[in-house]
């Protein structure tokens, strides 16, 4: 009987679900710590767990209506007026039991389309949407009360609900308006305009081919033009909205009609300040509408306690509508409001709250001292914050939301690290924030713990306890490495050592430039950190390294689709160096054409869809009068070049070097033949299954590829402290990091390398043929950028870490390492110590990031078979935690297959 | 004829496109079920400024402040300054 891939792997000495350092106990072992949130939060969480991602036309309707009223207006004013109108008309919704309120739209998990960014999807599917909307019958209670597959996703239409892009539900009543609104933006959206002008880039056809063959995942100008950055709440917290408007009016008077030496955009400052005032007025009306709604609710509420809570909410909102906050809860409500305001301005994923333990500390310290709040009440608010952030949805394209992000929105908060003097920044509030991560374990906020040698031991112990709830966070990031990166990449923009210490994680793992600002509360000054840089969601998006290697071997043609991607090199590739050089040539071409076309998309975005509200919150826009589109931010060198499939590429190169060039066991032609024939397996397309476990050997293939496959699987692999493979990684990283800095963004700044996979290892793996490391066609790459391919790291976690730290991580914005550990391996206090020692060891070697899944693989298998039993099971994918049921099967299988460490 | 269902009622807190909370009972209810304590929610369909498009399902025209613009009957008008109940 023909062997399965799993059996072949085992025969070669490797296996899926490899257990390193011992054997897992037979019985299913749950996570060690199970904590609960406050009852109020648990009740609200029940609503969340049963709610669907929902969308409507409210924001896009009012935005569009106002926008088209102002033809010929100065673009930034036109944009601001449209934003004001949209915000002013959002219907408020407050749920019973909430202490903090406001949200993106009128549902628990609300989001909305932005046809001014991209409307092509709706137009392409116009007739099918319309037919769906017409034919829906009456609602069925049974239909709506069932969870469809994937938790809160709406993968299929049901009752009177239409599925949009397999995730969002929209009422059938709204669909005709959605299509009419989309039509109004045809030819005018960032997508359409960007596409019109990017076609003028020479070699645009190469870009088209790259996108069609999934060498690259998605465009950046219209999918996520902002995000993966750190928010800055300083200005509203210090001045309040009326205070900011006053500053803007004064600055308007100072700059009106003046160039002040800047003949290009000096006079624009007048319009920019006016736009800021208009945008703030819209947000203030939005807050006011919520306050009025809270009063209305109080008026009809019979329960005395709930009535008082509605009145308190109203009072808080009316205060922060105009003024800086006075108390901790007002400050927390205010930053939530600002966060949503920014999110509603654009398609944004990865707006990280930053170091809110530092930001909110002034009010925490003073409220606790004055007896206005208790630590338990603060913990409850931190728990609600987690619920608020997890409820955030991002309405972007299906390839982005599903294929890359797995539905996550990456609202990371950072803890730990140092203050501006280099001393530990950990404060009491941060302990509560981390604790809330365990008591209310939800995918958001991701917690990024900036590891530094000055961190208190008990803080690290608490972090270990939270990890052992199985939530997958905190992830650990190396504070020193991050500061080094800040200095080397942003030094030319004025980054100082003191300012570098303010850094925080944007998105899931984007080391982002921040700054310190002096906040004043009741006569005391506190220096708080906040984001000071442009988005990092921009630049050249994920390029599949294994796919580039494949194209080297196939002389530039994608064999899966038959499309010519690159000009044929026609080289014999007689040496490994020649092969590697050709890889770099193709890589360089891909980066060049993607950078140029994405620069144009972003340029169209910044001309018509610039951030207005978001801009004024970031230094130094308010001071200079220039918004994001005019280099108003302090740090603008934030565009990146993203790679995907790093270790699959390294392993593949190692196999070619060993088998073809060193041992000369096979010719390159034989190797390519085996790969093109998928090592004798049926293709994933053929069987309709893309997961590792499901691959089937073909009975029809004439040649016997077993031996070559065995040899490929057995070739040197990264992750075993083996210099053969690891030196290839070193060579690549040195080249890739330096090469990225030679690429220029539209802002005239150098890009840098970004090495995270998010979920691209699934989606891009499905478009890549078999690779010379023995991986089969259509299956996932190794996840992250430093994780070993499942089953191939045989020598324990320290060997893996040695492999990972062969190169200087400070040369790149990030590196990413995921480790799966069986709960029994780190049981009890001793186990927690071992976990922390593992982290310390990696950080001290120079590793940038490590995160843990503490889970028994048997639990994951059971969850795959019985998803309804595991609605709240969370796992760490690659830089983010997500509900198991909302992750696609490819990535689920890859998670199950990851090596499980039984001993540490 | 007016659909006196939850999603058209002020007695309803929408959770998602299919369900929400009945304010009186605190229970989760189907958005399309009849609300025994129905209170009309301002929506374009009830507004003097709104005219239904007889040719295109689900669409209409809003003539607020004398200017015509696309509108749709199901849109919530709680925050609309131009809303005038028929």
**Lowest-confidence segment of A263-272, A444-453, A764-773, A852-861 by average pLDDT:** A852-861
Percent of chain A residues topping a pLDDT of 70? 93
Percent of chain A residues topping a pLDDT of 90? 76
- Distance, in Å, from the CA atom of A845 to the CA atom of A223, rounded to the nearest integer, reads 37
Interface test with B, best of A141, A153, A283, A290 (most B CBs within 10 A): A141
Residue range A782-807: average pLDDT? Answer: 94
CB atoms within 10 A of CB A185: 24
Interface test with A, best of B79, B80, B82, B83 (most A CBs within 10 A): B79
pLDDT digits (tens, 9 = 90+) for A810-826: 999 999 999 988 888 88
pLDDT digits (tens, 9 = 90+) for A623-652: 999 999 999 999 999 999 999 999 999 999
Whether B1-41 shares its CATH topology with B42-80 is answered yes
* List of chain B residues whose C-beta atoms are within 8 Å of the C-beta of residue A158: 18
- As a whole number, the mean pLDDT across chain A is 91
CA distance B10 to chain A (A): 10
pLDDT digits (tens, 9 = 90+) for A32-82: 888 999 999 999 999 999 999 999 999 999 999 999 999 999 999 999 999
Reading chain B (86 residues) residue by residue, the pLDDT tens digits are: 789 999 999 999 999 999 999 999 999 999 999 999 999 999 999 999 999 999 988 999 999 888 899 999 999 999 999 999 99
Quickly state the pLDDT bin for A420 (edges 50, 70, 90).
very high
pLDDT at res. A400: 53
- Distance, in Å, from the CA atom of A302 to the CA atom of A119, rounded to the nearest integer, reads 46
pLDDT at res. A203: 94
Quickly state the pLDDT bin for A146 (edges 50, 70, 90).
very low
What ipTM, to 2 d.p.?
0.98
Asked if residue A428 has pLDDT above 80, the reply is: yes
pLDDT at res. A218: 76
Q: Which of A452, A445, A540 minimizes the C-alpha distance to A211?
A: A540
Residue A66 known to be catalytic: no
Domain B42-80 has CATH 2.20.70.100: yes
Residue range A679-705: average pLDDT? Answer: 79
- List the catalytic residue out of A216, A508, A515, A754: A508
For chains A and B, CB pairs below 8 A equal 105
By C-alpha distance, the chain A residue nearest B31 is: A139
CB spacing of B30 vs A289 below 8 angstroms: no
pLDDT at res. A506: 95
pLDDT digits (tens, 9 = 90+) for A443-465: 999 999 999 999 999 999 999 99
A51 touches B: beta carbon within 8 Å: yes
Provide the token pair at A525.
Answer: 């000054």
pLDDT at res. A701: 67
Quickly state the pLDDT bin for A688 (edges 50, 70, 90).
confident
Give the residue carrying structure tokens 């843990």: A852
**Lowest-confidence segment of A666-675, A726-735, A790-799 by average pLDDT:** A790-799
- Distance, in Å, from the CA atom of A175 to the CA atom of B65, rounded to the nearest integer, reads 26
pLDDT digits (tens, 9 = 90+) for A370-419: 999 999 999 999 999 999 999 999 886 555 555 555 567 889 999 999 99
CB spacing of A141 vs B33 below 8 angstroms: yes
Return the CATH architecture of domain B1-41: Single Sheet (2.20)
pTM of the model: 0.94
CB spacing of B18 vs A139 below 8 angstroms: yes
A327 neighbors A334 (Cβ within 8 angstroms): no
- Distance, in Å, from the CA atom of A341 to the CA atom of A345, rounded to the nearest integer, reads 6
* List of chain B residues whose C-beta atoms are within 8 Å of the C-beta of residue A169: 16-18
A564 burial (CB, 10 Å; 0-12 / 13-18 / 19+) is middle
| A residues 108-137 lying closer than 8 A (beta carbon) to B | 108-109, 133-134
A97 touches B: beta carbon within 8 Å: no
pLDDT at res. A470: 87
pLDDT at res. A485: 98
* List of chain A residues whose C-beta atoms are within 8 Å of the C-beta of residue B80: 89
Which CA distances in Å does A179 have to A14, A116, A597, B72? Answer: 52, 13, 28, 12
A654 burial (CB, 10 Å; 0-12 / 13-18 / 19+) is buried
Asked if residue A744 has pLDDT above 60, the reply is: yes
Report which secondary-structure segment, H or E, holds A385.
Answer: helix A375-390
Domain ranges of chain B: 1-41, 42-80
- Distance, in Å, from the CA atom of A591 to the CA atom of A556, rounded to the nearest integer, reads 15
pLDDT at res. A133: 59
Q: What angle do CA B38, B41, B47 make, to 5 degrees?
A: 130
Of the two residues A28 and A690, the one the predictor is more confident about is A28
- The highest-confidence range among A164-168, A564-568, A851-855, by mean pLDDT, is A564-568
Residue A510 known to be catalytic: yes
Of the two residues A527 and A138, the one the predictor is more confident about is A527
Asked if residue A661 has pLDDT above 60, the reply is: yes
A359 neighbors A428 (Cβ within 8 angstroms): no
CB spacing of A93 vs B14 below 8 angstroms: yes
């Amino acid at each position: 009987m023909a062997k399965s891939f799993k059996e072949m792997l085992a025969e070669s000495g490797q296996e899926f679900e490899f257990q390193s350092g011992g054997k897992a106990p037979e019985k299913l072992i749950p996570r060690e710590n199970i904590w609960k949130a406050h009852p109020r939060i648990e009740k609200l969480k029940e609503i969340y767990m049963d709610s669907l991602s929902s969308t409507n036309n409210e924001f896009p309707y009012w935005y569009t209506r106002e926008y088209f009223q102002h033809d010929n207006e100065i673009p930034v004013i036109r944009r601001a007026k449209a934003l004001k109108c949209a915000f002013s008309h959002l219907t408020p919704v407050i749920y019973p039991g909430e202490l903090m309120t406001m949200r993106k739209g009128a549902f628990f998990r609300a989001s909305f389309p932005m046809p001014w960014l991209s409307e092509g999807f709706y137009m392409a599917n116009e007739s099918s949407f319309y037919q769906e909307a017409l034919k829906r019958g009456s609602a069925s209670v049974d239909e709506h009360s069932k969870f469809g597959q994937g938790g809160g996703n709406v993968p299929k239409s049901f009752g009177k609900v239409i599925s949009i892009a397999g995730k969002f539900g929209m009422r059938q009543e709204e669909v005709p308006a959605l299509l009419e609104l989309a039509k109004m933006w045809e030819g005018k959206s960032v997508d359409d305009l960007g596409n019109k002008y990017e076609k003028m880039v020479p070699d645009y056809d190469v870009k088209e081919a790259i996108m069609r063959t999934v060498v690259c995942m998605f465009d950046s100008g219209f999918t996520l033009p902002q995000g993966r950055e750190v928010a800055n709440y300083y200005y509203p917290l210090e001045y309040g909205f009326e205070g900011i408007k006053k500053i803007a009016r004064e600055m308007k008077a100072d700059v009106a009609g003046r160039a002040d030496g800047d003949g290009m955009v000096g006079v624009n400052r007048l319009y920019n300040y006016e736009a800021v005032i208009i945008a703030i007025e819209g947000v203030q009306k939005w807050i006011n509408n919520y306050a009025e709604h809270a009063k209305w609710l109080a008026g009809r509420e019979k329960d005395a306690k709930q009535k008082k809570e509605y009145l308190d909410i109203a009072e808080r909102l009316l205060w922060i509508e105009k003024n800086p906050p006075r108390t901790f809860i007002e400050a927390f409500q205010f930053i939530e409001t600002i966060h949503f305001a920014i999110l509603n301005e654009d398609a944004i994923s990865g707006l990280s709250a930053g170091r809110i333990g530092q930001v909110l500390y002034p009010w925490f310290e003073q409220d606790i001292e004055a007896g206005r709040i208790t630590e338990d009440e603060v913990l409850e608010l931190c728990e609600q914050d987690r619920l608020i952030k997890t409820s955030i949805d991002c309405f972007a394209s299906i390839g982005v939301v599903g294929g890359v992000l797995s539905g996550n929105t990456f609202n990371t908060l950072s803890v730990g690290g140092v203050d501006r003097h280099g001393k530990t920044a950990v404060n009491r509030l941060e302990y509560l924030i981390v604790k809330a991560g365990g008591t209310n374990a939800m995918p958001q906020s991701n917690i990024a713990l900036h590891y530094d040698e000055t961190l208190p031991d008990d803080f690290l112990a608490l972090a270990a306890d939270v990890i052992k709830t199985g939530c997958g966070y905190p992830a650990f990031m190396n504070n020193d490495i991050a500061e080094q990166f800040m200095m080397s990449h942003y030094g030319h923009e004025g980054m100082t050592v003191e300012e570098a210490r303010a850094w925080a994680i944007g998105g899931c793992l984007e080391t982002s430039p921040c700054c310190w600002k002096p906040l004043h509360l009741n006569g005391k000054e506190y220096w708080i950190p906040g984001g000071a840089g442009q988005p990092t969601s921009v630049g050249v998006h994920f390029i599949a390294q294994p796919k580039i290697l494949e194209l080297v071997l196939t002389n530039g043609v994608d064999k899966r689709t038959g499309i010519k991607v690159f000009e044929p090199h026609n080289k014999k590739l007689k040496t490994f160096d020649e092969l590697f050089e050709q890889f770099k040539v193709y890589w360089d071409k891909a980066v060049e054409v993607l950078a140029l076309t994405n620069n144009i998309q972003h340029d169209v975005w910044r001309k018509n869809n610039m951030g207005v509200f978001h801009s004024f919150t970031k230094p130094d826009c308010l001071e200079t009068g220039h918004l994001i589109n005019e280099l108003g931010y302090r740090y603008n060198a934030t565009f990146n070049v993203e790679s995907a499939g790093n270790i699959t590429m390294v392993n593949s190169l190692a196999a070619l070097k060993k088998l073809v060039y060193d041992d000369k066991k096979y010719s390159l032609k034989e190797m390519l033949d085996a790969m093109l024939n998928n090592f004798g397996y049926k293709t994933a397309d053929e069987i309709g299954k893309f997961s590792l476990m499901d691959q089937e050997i073909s009975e029809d293939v004439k040649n016997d590829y077993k031996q070559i496959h065995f040899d490929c699987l057995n070739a040197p692999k990264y992750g075993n402290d083996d210099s053969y493979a690891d030196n290839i990684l070193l060579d690549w990283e040195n080249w890739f990091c330096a090469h990225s800095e030679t690429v220029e963004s539209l802002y005239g700044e150098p890009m840098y390398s970004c090495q995270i996979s998010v979920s691209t290892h699934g989606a891009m793996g499905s478009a890549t043929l078999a690779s010379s490391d023995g991986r089969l066609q259509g299956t996932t790459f190794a996840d992250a950028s430093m994780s070993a391919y499942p089953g191939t790291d045989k020598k324990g976690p320290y060997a893996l870490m040695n492999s990972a730290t062969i190169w200087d991580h400070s040369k790149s914005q990030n590196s990413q390492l995921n480790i799966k550990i069986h709960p029994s391996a780190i049981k009890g206090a001793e186990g927690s110590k071992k976990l922390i020692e593992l982290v310390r060891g990696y950080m001290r070697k120079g590793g940038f990031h490590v995160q843990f899944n503490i889970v028994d693989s048997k639990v994951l298998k059971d969850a795959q078979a019985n998803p309804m039993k595991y609605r709240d099971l969370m796992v760490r994918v690659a830089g983010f935690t997500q509900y198991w049921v909302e992750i696609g099967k490819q990535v689920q299988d890859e998670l199950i297959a990851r090596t499980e460490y039984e001993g540490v | 004829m007016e659909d006196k269902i939850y999603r058209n009622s002020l007695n309803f807190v929408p959770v998602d496109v299919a369900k929400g909370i009945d304010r009186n009972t605190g229970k989760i209810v189907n958005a399309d079920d009849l609300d025994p304590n129905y209170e009309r929610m301002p929506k374009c369909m009830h507004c003097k400024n709104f005219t239904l498009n007889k040719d295109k399902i689900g669409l209409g025209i809003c003539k607020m402040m004398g200017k015509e613009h696309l509108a749709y009957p199901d849109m919530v008008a709680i925050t609309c300054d131009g809303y005038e109940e028929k």
